[in-house]
Structure 1
Amino acid sequence: MPKIGQAALTAKAALAITVSLNVFLSAPAGAEPAFGHRTDLSAKDRARIEAVLQPATDFSKPEKYERMQGGAGTSRKRINQDSFSHPTQNLSFEEEQEFKVGNGLFKKLWVSSPSSTQASDGLGPLYNARSCQGCHLKDGRGRPPEPGERAVSMFLRLSIKPQTEEQKALLESGKAPVIPHPVYGGQLQSFAVPGLAGEGEMKITYEEVPVELADGSVVSLRKPTYSIDNPGYGPLGEDTLISPRVAPPMIGLGLLEQVHEGDILANADPEDTDGDGISGRPAWVYDADNDTKVLGRFGWKGANPTVRAQAAGAFSGDVGISTPDKTNPYGDCTEAQEACYAQPNGVQPRFGDTEAPDPVLDLVTFYSENLAVPARRNVDDPQVLRGKELFYAAGCTSCHTPKYVTRRDAPTKAHQFQLIWPYTDMLLHDMGEGLADDRPFGEANGREWKTPPLWGIGLTKTVNDHTYFLHDGRARNLLEAVLWHGGEAETAKQAVVAMEQSDREALIKFLESL
């Protein structure tokens, strides 16, 4: 494979990678083609993919193209705070222009109505952030608020248990993933436009829980408890279900969307028929437009099937901005919040029927789909290679599936037939009582979470100046994150607990290289 410099990949270099990848995806003579579920592939393609996706067995050296964990679109730019904000490197010139316009809209600060800046008004009336970038700072990972801060890149999901037979039927049919709180809606929004009260403030208290490792060392985990101070619209009630969320990193989303559904379902084993203790389940979500269920890929519990759906939901719930896919200009306001619905909205008929009419959602979606995955670091470091071997030996790859080859028929050429290394199976897993939020959501019960991708995890400190991990940022470093694993991941966690210190350090070094 040709050597590529540190600057952004040129179209010629990107083509060279693609050609080299096609050469690499070659099967031994006489191999039977697998991946019969891949209707986008020829039999020859299936055999080539089968060869390249074989699990690693030689840990003395990196696998071919392992450094290019986002395929030909991987960013090899200098590592700094902007490392999650570069475009996929194999976009065309015209697509890169579209990406840049989408970036501007992603950073756009929305203002309350009425405003002289009529193309920017419509904020809220209740909201969590004034821009997409407000939650996904530098396109990276959110965090819990520090003492004295108000939460911005983290919020609380809200719902209640079904109260009526009609609500029970909605949940059983899958047409509603939860029953929103009748007053506070689907999430707590701490901020409001002038003249309106916010819904309340997230309060977190922590309890330190010691965990003794096999070598006698002790790691302290912080166990959070959540409550809501100063509720603005009356008591929430004892039956309110609360679940915290930090904003996840934005990189590689378009590639994950183009992992073939069959490749994800092939790893599902809801009844644990192979007896390995891993029972991954797909997160099916209701598609109202087609009156069917589709595979959820995005969000901490797989709530959204596409990047566009995720973006539209965030515009509505987080910023209070309506789009062609979520047309209510009052966002997450409920009918019980009469003062909220009394506020003016930002719909400008000459622009369209929503506050963010086409092509705003299209452009933000394209931007979100094409944030490049950074290249891995230190892939040939002996300690990193040892850590990779331990990652496999501990059984971590049972959920954190290392690699895929994306669809040949992906709508964006840059995403087609790419060898990627996200380390996720995109399935729901029981993570044990320690991580349970006790709030069912759609297919996911109160102990289940979707396996998050690990690519880029080692750059969290560089990009976002913190090392808080898991769905609520409770883990203060990667070792704490591992030690919070339970349920289906209990065996893997115990393997880490039993490791010698040098092996644990190698495992963390491997994770930091991703």
Structure 2
Amino acid sequence: MPATRSLRAAAASIGLLALGTLAAAPQPDPLGEKVGGETTVFATGRNAFSFPAANLTDAERTRFTIGNSFFRRNWVEAPASTQARDGLGPHFIARSCGGCHVQDGRGEPPAIFNRLGETKDPTVALLMRLSIPGTDAHGGPKHEPVYGDQFNNAAVQGVKPEGRVTLRYDTVKGRFADGTPYALQKPVYGFADLGYGPLHPDVMFSPRIAPQVIGVGLLEAIAEADILENAAAQAAAPGPIKGVPNRVWDAPSGRMMLGRFGWKANVATIAHQTGGAFQGDIGITSRHFPHETCTPAQKDCLAAPSGKSGGKNGAEGLEIDDKTFNDVVFYQATLAPPARRNVKDPQVLRGQALFSAAQCATCHRPSYVTQQGPFPELTSPALSGQRIHPYTDLLLHDMGERLADGRPDFGANGRQWKTPPLWGTGLIKDVNGHTRLLHDGRARGVLEAILWHGGEAEDARNQVLKMKKADRDALVKFVESL
């Protein structure tokens, strides 16, 4: 069980902050612990990312619980006797949403290596996006013709897996200005045991680790004008930081929208993210994603039976009905961000000042006030009007050649990545037992993640390289307090 504090104690704590007990200390976060406003929960430990927003009604908590069940429990192959969870595959990488987002948290790269230094561990939480030069009908990536838009390493009976991903690491060494050495792990990917022949000669691929799910409903409720204001302010300011928004196709709304989710801001809404993940990662069809992802070359995939779960609830030809799907979206939208910790610690406050001085807060914008999200029926009004502190501008930034994947995604080019929110960073180890960060989990902690920064963030990285160890430690402790 997680270590938790009662809501009464939490309220008392916030009350003390409101009375100004930290007034004498520099405090860019005036709300202190409550990173999610009144949605914040005070929790640590294994389940820290799995609580509903603190201000939900009883009826909403019931809906949250129902959505949680379908998020976490495994789907099974068709045909099956189950009444609600058949239709897995034909190709898939996980049997449930929770298979990638374990405990609603962050995935990590495979860690089991053979004697040649290559992993043979299934790449469950590490998704490989695929495309070839060109765009689809909505301006998104053009699918690889044989393997589609992602590489699936698992399949149901009678269907061949698409293959497996290989992974090894090269070491990149360097030194801080004070002479302290460091070593980074540079991943090198490959594909083996291909089930349907070679990949296209011009294939582009991009590794993507499953991020923690906390606070996504609050991110969806940030006003578009605030995100565009971030871009305008950066464009007008001197210096290299020039974030830009991504415009992407949103299937549930049937229009182009501002991207907020995914490592390249290539998804606009939680509903689209959920439908795309059900279809691509588990092989479950839904209203806006009604077709299996089998390509014409995958005859065994095309011949595999489909599940009947959706039809049993009035959604003929689909494997998840609207109500169940919507409850899963609601569950994710109302997952609460956990409160900050150690907010009075002098080292944390020192790190907070250094974070700002190094211009980290330009991209990792601390604060917003939420509005109503795009689909009110899929979230709670309790998420609106909240002062939140996610530490992101939700914009794309050129992060340099060291992090480049070379693969465009709507308006994002091969060197651009979305600024990820930082809330919950210090609890990933509690929840998932690791500290792997960045889009493919190559960084083994906060400091390594900073050292991979380049492009627009090169100046910030250089400032950290010049810091003495005490300041580096303070900077990390601040980020881990979020």
Judge same fold: TM > 0.5, yes or no. yes
State the 1:324 CA deviation. 1.3
For 2:236 and 2:371, how far apart are their aligned partners in 1?
A: 28
Q: 1:149 and 1:436 mapped to 2: Cα distance?
A: 24
Matched, 1:341 2:306: no
Which shows bigger deviation, 407-416 or 382-391?
Answer: 407-416
CA–CA distance in structure 1, aligned partners of residues 297 and 476 of structure 2: 49
1:389 — aligned with what? 353
1:508 maps to a residue whose letter is V
Q: Give the percent of matched residue pairs that are identical in Structure 1 and Structure 2.
A: 47
Give the SS at the match of 2:457: helix
Q: Which residue in 2 is equivalent to 1:72? A: 38
Correspondence for 2:116:
none
Identify the residue that residue 32 of structure 1 maps to in structure 2.
none
Q: Could you tell me how far 1:372 is from its partner in structure 2?
A: 0.8
Q: Which of residues 404, 410, 418 is equivalent to 1:450?
A: 418
Q: Quick one: distance in 2 between partners of 1:294 and 1:191?
A: 32
Which AA in structure 2 matches 1:469? Answer: L
For residues 116 and 408 of structure 1, the distance between their equivalents in structure 2, rounded to whole angstroms, comes to 40
Q: 2:149 is matched with which residue?
A: 186
Following superposition, the deviation at residue 292 of structure 1 comes to 4.1
Match of 2:51 in 1: 86
1:140 alignment partner in structure 2: 105
Structure 2 contact 29–366 (Cα < 8 Å) conserved: no
Pick from 237, 252, 266: which aligns with 2:215?
A: 252
Gaps of 5+ in 2: 114-119
2:368 partner amino acid: Y
Contact 2:364-2:391 within 8 A present in 1 as well: yes
Structure 1 SS opposite 2:231: coil
Cα distance between partner residues in 1 of 2:256 and 2:373: 22
**Residues 1:281 and 2:253 are matched in the alignment:** no
Distance (Å, rounded) in 2 between the aligned partners of 1:290 and 1:108? 28
The answer to whether the Cα contact below 8 Å between 1:62 and 1:385 also exists between their aligned partners in 2 is: no
Deviates more, 1:144-153 or 1:284-293: 284-293
What is the distance in 1 between the residues matched to 2:233 and 2:218?
Answer: 25
Is the CA contact 1:118–1:346 (under 8 Å) kept in the aligned structure 2? no
Partner of 1:405: 369
Maintained 8 Å contact 1:14/1:73: no
Native 8 Å contact 2:370 2:386 kept in 1: yes
Aligned length: 464
- C-alpha separation in 1, matches of 2:253 and 2:281: 26
Give the distance between the partners of 1:287 and 1:308, measured in 2 at CA. 9
- Following superposition, the deviation at residue 237 of structure 1 comes to 3.0
For the 8 Å contact 1:72–1:418, the answer to whether it is kept is yes
The 1:58–1:221 alpha-carbon spacing in structure 2 relative to 1, beyond 3 Å, is farther
Q: How far apart are 1:116 and its partner, in Å?
A: 1.2
1:417 corresponds to 2:385: yes
Query: 2: distance between equivalents of 1:288 and 1:350?
Result: 24
State the shift of 1:16 in Å.
Answer: 12
| Range moving further from structure 2, 270-279 or 390-399 | 270-279
Q: Report which stretch shifted further, 101-110 or 114-123.
A: 114-123
Letter in 1 for 2:281: D
SS for the counterpart of 2:322 is coil
Match of 2:402 in 1: 434
Gaps of 5+ in 1: 25-55
Amino acid at match of 1:152: V
Quick check: 229-238 or 97-106, which moved more?
Answer: 229-238
Deviation string 1:98-138 (CA, Å, 9 cap, x unpaired) is: 00000001012111111111421100100010000000000
Distance 1:57 1:265, change over 3 A: farther
C-alpha separation in 2, matches of 1:358 and 1:313 = 14
Q: What is the TM-score normalised by the length of structure 2?
A: 0.91
Please report how far the alpha carbon of residue 271 of structure 1 lies from its aligned counterpart in structure 2 after TM superposition: 8.6
Distance 1:357 1:144, change over 3 A: same
Given that residues 17 and 72 in structure 1 are in contact (C-alpha distance below 8 angstroms), is that contact kept between their aligned partners in structure 2?
no
**Residue 273 of structure 1, CA deviation:** 3.6
TM-fit CA distance, 1:64:
3.0
Q: SS of the residue aligned with 1:482? A: helix
Residue 40 of structure 1 corresponds to which residue in structure 2?
none
Match of 1:52 in 2: none
Q: Does 385-394 or 151-160 show the bigger shift? A: 151-160
Distance 1:16 1:397, change over 3 A: closer
1:427-453 CA-partner distances (Å, limit 9, x unpaired): 000000000000011010000001000
Alpha-carbon contact 2:144-2:200 (below 8 Å) kept:
no
Q: Partner of 2:446 in structure 1?
A: 478
